[in-house]
Amino acid sequence: MTRRVRCASQMIRCTVLALCGMGLPWQSSAMDLTQTWTQARQQDATYRAAMYGVQATREAMPQAVSQLLPNMSFSGSNNKVNLNKTENGVTQAPFAYNSANSTLTIRQTLFRKNQFAQFEQAQAQWVGSVADESRAEIELLTRITGYYFEALYAEDVVAATEKLLEATQGQLKAAQRFFDKGQGTRTDVDEVQARLDQVITQSLQVKQQLLYNKHQLESALNAPVDHLARLDAAQFTVQAPAFDLQHFMDLAEVENPDLALAKAKVEVARLEVVKAESGHLPTVDWVAQKSLSKSENLINPLATYLTYQTGIQVNVPLFSGGYTQSTVRQSQAYLDRERENLEQARRTLALQVRKEYQNITEGLLKVRALEQALRSAQQLVVSSQKSIQAGVRTQTDLLNALQREAEAKRDLWQGRYQFLMAQQKLAVLTGATPLSATEDINRLLLSDAKPVMAQSN
């Protein structure tokens, strides 16, 4: 019940976000993660297909209810009859007349074990559909967040490469100037030129990757993307999980939709066994019937009969050639299969929770180490520049320092995105709604970010 309330609240909030987005230009500001995910819920074909599947599954409930409600049917016929009658060896003249019959029947189930089991089965399928909907939401969120961070990371690499390219071009001009004045060597110029050619190649590659990541996100949104809200490094902090691993394990056992769906499938399979076993049991129905017949009696062909019948109808199965026993064995095998799938889902979930928990705890140390590595790389650039002025370092040393700085920035941004992804995955694995998981990241994004992606077009 708690999950249903949260899902309903989430849908309302997403609808409000979508309506608000309709009244404003889509690209008037940087698109944040919540807007991206909301748009993807409306446009992503994989998610929409999953929602149609959920909708189809939920139709099992009204179908099961209909089997327990009164069933009314009407039948009728109208025939042309040609009567040739011979009595005591005397053939009478042919006689033709119309014969008609109409019957109204009402049937109410009193005892049909398979129909009662089907109703319980539909309830289990409904619970499974709620879990399946949550799974689709989480899958979409994980995929869209991955696309979003891949695009941001590509932008970071492009920005770092452009800065390195600009610095290398400046070093080439300086090396050429020193060479023209007789203060440098041709080797220095060639070294910087070779490094510049390498950086230009890297720049082309990262821009191509950025363009692909942009199109990947646009395909999911079915809309063009101008620029994205970027991660605010000033607000980003790495923190250890608030609870230990066992706490998240216990929470996932109760809240995880994958596990809830596997449990629902076990219950559906168990009730399928009950339905199969009901083939040995009698059925009891209350039946009421009204019938009107005209000219149906050959002895008195012009007579009209109006009859009313009501009573209890019992059907007792005696022998079906072994069919019922076979369906019971088949249903039991399916039940055993779903129980094994449940156990595998439980083990897989435990591994996923452990993996993401470890990614957070280790990612925390990794990000801190990368932050220190960036500071050291930046200090190396400053020291190399001063050493060149003192004549104890060459342009090659400075280019190497600039390359290290660019790589340190790239690795740091990648580490931050991986840390946020691990936090988000652990949250949704243990019951957090996708909307709350996106908002946790959205607080760290800058809505007024400059459009870096547009530069790659």
CATH architecture of 2-69+112-281+317-456: Up-down Bundle (1.20)
Q: How far apart are CA 407 and CA 105, in angstroms?
A: 81
- The answer to whether the Cα torsion of 291, 295, 301, 302 is positive or negative is positive
DSSP annotation string for 93-148: PPEEEEEEEEEEEEEEEEE-HHHHHHHHHHHHHHHHHHHHHHHHHHHHHHHHHHHH
Q: What share of residues in the chain are helix, strand, coil (percent, to 5)?
A: 70, 15, 20
Write down the pLDDT at residue 169: 87
* 18-22, 94-98, 351-355, 391-395: range with highest mean pLDDT: 351-355
Q: How far apart are CA 276 and CA 253, in angstroms?
A: 31
| Domain ranges across the chain | 2-69+112-281+317-456
Closest CA to 61 of 128, 125, 132: 125
Residue pLDDT, tens place only, 82-133: 877 777 777 776 778 888 899 999 999 999 999 999 999 999 999 999 999 9
Task: For residue 62, give both structure tokens.
Answer: 């009204």
For residue 334, pLDDT over 90 is answered with yes
Write down the pLDDT at residue 24: 35
Residue pLDDT, tens place only, 232-242: 988 898 889 98
- Tell me if 384 sits within 8 A of 397, measured CB to CB: yes
For residue 9, pLDDT over 70 is answered with no
Other C-beta atoms closer than 10 Å to the C-beta of 363 total 21
Residue pLDDT, tens place only, 42-87: 999 999 999 999 999 999 999 999 999 999 999 999 988 887 777 7
**Exposure string for 201-237, b = 16+ CB within 10 A, e = fewer:** ebbeebbebbeebbeebeebbeeebebbbbbeeeeee
**438: Cβ–Cβ under 8 A, 6 or more apart, which residues?**
33, 34, 37, 141, 145, 424
